[in-house]
Structure 1
Amino acid sequence: MRKIIVLAAAATALLAGACNTIEGVGKDVKAAGTAVERTAKDAK
């Protein structure tokens, strides 16, 4: 039973870390999209 609790805690910690990483990637993609949008407007 103790091993299951330890594994569940480790899995929870990994998932929480992954959420932060995915959020950071989303922000980077949004910033890149904004830059492309500005460049397209300037090229008009």
Structure 2
Amino acid sequence: MKKLMLIALLVGLAGCNTVAGIGDDVSGGARTVQSWF
């Protein structure tokens, strides 16, 4: 049971980091486009 909880925690953290990374990519792309204008 502890192993299952640990895996669930790691997957949750990995998911949060991925979403944060996508947000950074989108805002970085928006800044790049904004700098063109």
In the superposition, the TM-score normalised over structure 1's length comes to 0.65
Show structure 2 runs of 5+ residues with no match: none
1:10 aligns with 2:4: no
Calculate percent identity across the aligned residue pairs. Answer: 27
Show structure 1 runs of 5+ residues with no match: none
Runs of 4+ in 1 over 6 A off after TM superposition: none
* Residue of structure 1 equivalent to 2:17: 20
In the superposition, the TM-score normalised over structure 2's length comes to 0.72
* Matched positions, count: 37
- After superposition, what is the alpha-carbon deviation per residue over 1:1-44, rounded to whole angstroms, capped at 9, x for unaligned? xxx3322211111011111111111111111000111112xxxx
* Residue of structure 2 equivalent to 1:32: 29
